[in-house]
Structure 1
Amino acid sequence: MCSIVYVDAIGGLLDGPRAQGAFLLRSILTPPWSIAIKDEAPLTLVAMVRGDAWIVSDETAAVRVDSGDVAIIRGTGPYTVADDPATKPQAIIHPGQRCTTPDGQELFETTQLGVRTWGNSLDGPTMLLTGTYTMQGAVSQRLLNALPPLLVVPRKSWESPLIPLLAAEIVKDAPGQEAVLDRLLDLLLIATLREWFAQPGAKAPAWYKAHGDPVVGRALQLLHNNPAQPWTVASLAAKAGVSRAALARRFTALVGEPPMSYLTEWRLALAADLLREPGATVGAVAHRVGYGSSFALSTAFKRRRGVSPRQHRTATQV
């Protein structure tokens, strides 16, 4: 049976973290409050259910997030979420979601307010939902590189039913609840990114905008859906309904690199993620992403990434 790997431009962002599960938490707080985040997670989403907060980091100016807004924090650097930029941190979130006071005392267990709920008051005026992707897949890197350290999609620019739905589900403790929450977080993240990329000042990357082109968008879809296909520029052009020269010229102009160069990077990114799966072999992964042998994949992988597929797999399992 033929195995097809399907990953689109934004969906690829979720492929690695989703497989491992995400950390989700509801926080209910009464001012003054301030939380220093030092968990080194590559991507975090903060959705304000009620009240407001400030996000402060060394990379950006302080940004206010109001009720209904969604913020995405990209990168492993520290930042602070607080009722006011001047409020000193009362809690620190470390890697592994371990929570302590600034002087190192364990804190999380003493401040739990229910299922996946944390804070200093059950009737606090501020409620925020935090979803943290603790792992980063290689497929996602192209999209992560296109994001600023901090972005906010304000409530006034969209009305999403996902925030109240996630708020309702996050406190449930039913069978399969982790899978439900993972999917809801994925949906909210995708919806937020799609809305942000659609904004005039968002500076969406060229390859993302190219998906809207009738010719190049079709070519990108073909490459994403069928990476194992023995594509050439000619065969890709035939499927897209244009000449070889027209596709090569248009693809390079819109995406920023030729079709076959893009395909190579896409295949290697997929391979990097697939190699992390339990029981995956280099030969099987090579077949799934369009390389004729484990040797061919290893050669290309090491040339582009500096390590062999086996070395990459070992490093990601540490």
Structure 2
Amino acid sequence: MDALAGLLDGPRARGAILLRMVMEPPWSLRIEDHAPLSLLCMTAGEAWISPDAGDPVLLRPGDVAIARGPGSYTTADEITREPTALIGPGGTCHTLRGEPLAQSMYLGVRSWGNDPAGSATMLVGTYQMRGEVSGRLLDALPELLHLPAGSWNCPLMPVLDDEISRDEPGQSVVLDRILDLVLIAVVRAWFSRPDAAAPAWYLAMGDPVVGRALRLLQDDPAHSWTVASLAAKCGVSRAGLARRFNELVGEPPMAYLTGWRLTLAADLLRDTDATVDAVARKVGYSGSFALSAAFKRVRGVSPQEHRGGVVLPEPQQHSP
């Protein structure tokens, strides 16, 4: 399991909002949907994306952007254009006075805009739920990521463009999976840039020793790992692995394992009905008491409180 696969293979898109937005100037939309992540792919014309925090970017054909929530942003044909519509949670759309726009701007299956022949076309894919596993990766991204057309290449973009307006059985699942693959391609291209500020664990995946150790921990978190057993699997000394792991990842192997186990547990608690005891054993704890103690110590809430939707404080240093 590599870094991207391991961190994006947990909670995947489930009923993501996908649409083709077709606009003719003048236009400006205020996005306040609080979604954890939106993928914006320009296929024709131009559009400005102006986040509340950070510099605006201009999208041209072939460009892609990731807007990382829950922050808000404005997208428009001109950077100074005042918004005339507001996109809220779940993709709801209203004028600034609260008048609904869903019907008046409906242009067909997963197509929306102010003119079916508009000069600007953007494919938009919005994840509606922040999962704990993907959150670890997405937290390493800026609030607004922009890749110009020439800096990335994804053969799935034409597929997404073709599939987005189809209305066939199971189409939402097909689109969810395509969106996941496009997201992985974008993130991979972003981290591969010469000036990329990739997180330590991502860069460490390329190390022959630490990368193997990380994959072993990610692939089998329930195993009763020790630094000694992990070092033996990697063909190095215990002290050598501990030193190199800490240098490249920024924390000891067992601290990383704790964070990974609790991240997986948090996702299982939210997205399944498994008991706390079953979740504990699945991720490597002896039972519900051991998991609860670790969960409370690192995340500040109990597993039951997390499952019930209690807002989590910032994780402590045990989480990578």
Separation (CA, whole Å) in 2 of partners of 1:116 and 1:146: 30
Pairing of 1:306-317 with structure 2 (within 5 A): 306-315=300-309
| 2:41 maps to amino acid | A
Once the two structures are superposed, the pairs formed by residues 1-318 of structure 1 within 5 Å of their partners are 8-9=3-4, 11-13=6-8, 15-18=10-13, 20-315=14-309
Q: Give a deviation string over 1:114-173, Cα, whole Å, max 9, x none.
A: 001000111111110111111111222321221111111111112322211101100001
CA distance in 2, matches of 1:222, 1:48: 39
Give, in angstroms, the shift of residue 58 of structure 1: 2.1
Give yes or no for contact 1:17–1:136 (8 Å, CA) kept in 2: no
In structure 2, how many angstroms separate the alpha carbons of the residues matched to 1:177 and 1:143?
27
Structure 1 residue 307 displacement after superposition: 1.0
The runs of 5 or more residues in structure 2 that have no matched partner are: 312-320
Secondary structure of the structure 1 residue equivalent to 2:309: helix
1:251-296 Cα offsets, whole Å, 9 max, x none, are: 0000000000000000000000001233211011111100011111
2-structure distance, mates of 1:16, 1:292:
24
Q: TM-score, normalised by structure 2?
A: 0.94
Q: Could you tell me how far apart the structure 1 residues matched to 2:9 and 2:104 are?
A: 32
Q: 1:3-44 deviations in whole A, cap 9, x for unaligned?
A: xxx7844552462252x3311111011111111100011111
Counterpart in the other structure of 2:315: none
Tell me, yes or no, if the aligned pair for 1:10 and 1:143 is still in contact at 8 Å: no
What is the root-mean-square deviation in Å for CA atoms of aligned residues?
1.5
Runs of 4+ in 1 over 3 A off after TM superposition: 6-11
Q: Please tell me whether the aligned partners of residues 3 and 202 of structure 2 are also in contact (alpha carbons under 8 angstroms).
A: no
Following the alignment from structure 1 to structure 2, what is the Cα–Cα distance between the partners of residues 75 and 242?
41
Deviation of the 1:201 alpha carbon:
1.5
Of all paired residues, the percent bearing the same amino acid is 58
Give the TM-score normalised by the residue count of structure 1. 0.94
Equivalent pairs counted in the alignment come to 311
Contact 1:267 1:290 in 2 (8 A): yes
**Cα distance in structure 2, aligned partners of 1:8 and 1:284:** 26
Asked whether the equivalents of residues 13 and 137 of structure 1 are also in contact (C-alpha less than 8 Å), the reply is no
Instruction: Identify the residue that residue 3 of structure 1 maps to in structure 2.
Output: none
| In structure 2, C-alpha distance between the alignment counterparts of 1:111 and 1:306, rounded to whole Å | 45
2: distance between equivalents of 1:218 and 1:273?
A: 24
What residue ranges of structure 1 are gaps of 5+ in the alignment? 1-5
- Please state whether the residue corresponding to 2:22 is helix, strand or coil: strand
Aligned counterparts of 2:81 and 2:237: Cα–Cα separation in 1: 61
